[in-house]
Structures are given as structure tokens and as C-alpha cells.
Structure 1
Amino acid sequence: MELVVLLDEAGQAVGTADKATVHHEQTPLHLAFSAYVFDADNRFLLTRRALTKRTWPGVWTNSCCGHPGPGEGMRDTVTRRLKDELGLEAETIDLVLPRFRYRAVMPDGTVENEMCPVYRVTVSADPRPDAAEVDDFEWVDWPPRRELSPWATRQIPELEALGADPRNWPSGTDAELPPAAC
């Protein structure tokens, strides 16, 4: 059983829940992350979620997402999920949007409700996706120009506000994360 960390409105941990059962019409606020992966040529890794995913199956989105387990550090989570989902080793992991939060509702009523810090990651290899996580991928110019997941649609304007070149986005500090993520 994979656990997610439940949060209060201040970002404090208030418990855990089984990831397999947490996403429904009344999804509680929980901790997650999003990663935007770039290569040496500053291309962005766009991924398409597997068709078997519980939330937003088959939707194009940012490179990688996930949930830290109880007591797991955010960078450790990013490292773990990059390896599990995409077979990638990060060269750098930089926090760029420490306090991103969103809520989105799928057509079937399933809700995503997350405090979701956003990371910029650099890699030097092509992904080897796990088909249970990622259906397809493309290396594209930044910013991507296609319909994307609700969280990516909201994150990308905030990332663009940091500057046109992702290599120059300022890094945040762990002290800026929600308390449960520190």
C-alpha cells in the first residue's frame, strides 16, 4: 500500500491515506510534486499519462508527478518517481514553485486536490518509460503548445513568469515548502 500525506490548509501533515483510495469526489488535500525535465539542449520532456491511470488517463502533461510518502523528502521523491516512471537519473533538481496548489475536477467527478511544489530537473539521457505510468513522450521546445493536464495548464504560466529560459529560473529553498514537505 502506497500512502499519501494528508494536509490542512496551512500545509501541515494531518494524517495519511492509501493512494489507491484517496482520489474520489471528496479528495482530501494532500502533498504531491510536479517535475519539468529538460535536457542539455533545453528541450522539455512532455509525457502522456498511461491509459490505466486513475486520474486524467491518456492526458499529456509535465514530465513527472508523484506523492511523497510519510517522512520522505521531496527531492528523494522526485528522484524515486523519475526512476520509476521514466527510468531517468536526475543531474540537477531545483525547486522553482514551492507553494503551487491546485484543485481540479475530472468529468466523472473525481477530484485532484494538492499542494504540489514544482521542480526543474535536468537529465542527459532519453527516458525509458514504465508503460503503467507513461503511455508516450516527446522532447519539445519550451513552452509546450498543446492541450495539457489541468495542473500543467496552471503551472506553465507561473513558470513562464519566472523567465523565458528555464535554465535561468530562480531556485527556491526548502524553507518555502509547505511544512509537511520539509
Structure 2
Amino acid sequence: MTGKPENVVLLADDGTPVGLAPKATVHTTDTPLHLAFSCHVFDERGRVLVTRRALGKATWPGVWSNSFCGHPAPDEPFEQAIARRAERELGLRVRDVRPALPDFRYRAVDASGIVENEICPVFTAIAEGDPEPADDEVAEWAWVEPEALRSAVGATPFAYSPWLGWQLEAWQGEYRPA
């Protein structure tokens, strides 16, 4: 780590970059629209990695979600940001990063009142090994069959991040790497 604060890219409603803000200050009850990404990581057997958010997370602590999410640095390509975040959050190397839902966007309000407000393209990737996640990011993880995840989210949506449910609803065709 360089010690520099992590910045996120602020966006106009049409997705045009309009500025930067420190990540630590962006997620509030009045979160501005900003750029993010989600990634669904699959293993060689076709199972998808789900993670349970750490209990110390400011938003949606303890809920299950997609493999990981993050924010690209200014001018950082998504593929590079995804590789960086996979290593930082999951201790995992990924390959074959591909867009799955390039136009995904959402706004969600946590029970605490904190808002997620993101243009958040969704990607798939293939894992190289098993994760060794950072404790401050992930409480638990599991490899699951994609259709089993769809069924579980449908049956118990409250146990999952809202964006995971919305991403699965938007997914066209078979839920697998793009």
C-alpha cells in the first residue's frame, strides 16, 4: 500500500465522469453516483464463489453476496481493478475476466441508511485456486453450483445482498462465465 487515499470516480447521471472523491467519504446516506464493478468468480468445475460480507462492513454486514465488488481507480482499466481487488479482498488470482452485464446500475439503501449508488458493470472470471480472504472483507466463502445459488437467492433474498439478486435477475441465459 502506498498510503494514498483510495479515490472513486464520481459520475453524472449519463455515466460521464465528473470528479473524484475519497472512497472513505463517499458511502453515506446521500451517496453520489459513482463507478464500481462486481465480479462473479467461477472455478474450473463451473461452481461460483459466493462470499459472506465481514461483520465489520459498513453496509450489508454478514450477508452473502457475489464473489467480490470494488471501485476502479481513476483511469484504471476494469480488468486491472478486478485483478487488484481479487488479490486484496480474496487473496485470489483470477484470469479470463469478461463482461457479463456491462450496463448494470443500481441504488440500494442498507438498514443503517447508507446508500449504494453505482454504475456497476458486472464481470465473470476464472479462479486460480481457492481464496484466502482478508478478515476485514469476508467472513465466510463457498463454492456453489450456479443453479443452487439462484434457488437460494430466490427462496431467501434477505440473506443476500440486493445487488446479487438484481444481477441474477438481469443475467440472460445460463449463469456461467461469459
**Structure 1 length normalisation: TM-score?**
0.88
In structure 1, runs of 5+ residues without a counterpart are: 170-182
- Aligned partner of 2:176 in structure 1 is 166
In the TM superposition, what whole-angstrom CA distance separates every residue of 1:117-165 from its partner, at most 9, and x where no partner exists? 0001111301010111111101101031143101111001112x2x125
Q: How many residues get paired? A: 166
Q: Report the equivalent of 2:34.
A: 30
Q: What are the within-5 Å matches in structure 2 for residues 78-89 of structure 1? A: 78-89=82-93
SS at match of 1:56: coil
Structure 2 match to 1:178: none
Within the candidate set 109, 131, 134, 2:135 is matched to 131
Q: Quick one: distance in 2 between partners of 1:11 and 1:137?
A: 32
CA distance, structure 2, for counterparts of residue 126 and residue 100 of structure 1: 27
CA contact (8 A) 2:28 2:115 kept: yes
2:156 corresponds in structure 1 to none
RMSD: 1.1
Matched, 1:67 2:71: yes
Q: What secondary structure sits across from 1:114 in the alignment?
A: strand
Superposed counterparts of 1:32-71, under 5 Å: 32-71=36-75
- Counterpart secondary structure, 2:125: strand
Superposed CA deviations along residues 52-106 of structure 1, whole A, max 9, x for unmatched, are: 1121111100001000111111111001000101111112100111110000001
Change in CA separation of 1:44 and 1:29 when aligned onto 2, cut-off 3 Å? same
Identity, % of aligned positions: 49
Question: Of the candidates 160, 164, 167, which is equivalent to residue 148 of structure 1?
Answer: 160
Q: Distance in 2 between matches of 1:57 and 1:50?
A: 6
The corresponding residue for 1:102 is 106
Q: TM-score, normalised by structure 2?
A: 0.90
Question: Aligned partners of 1:103, 1:94: CA distance in 2, in Å?
Answer: 23
When residues 40 and 54 of structure 1 are mapped into structure 2, their CA distance, relative to the original with a 3 A threshold, is same
Q: 2: distance between equivalents of 1:70 and 1:89?
A: 22
| 4+ aligned runs moved over 6 Å, structure 1 | none
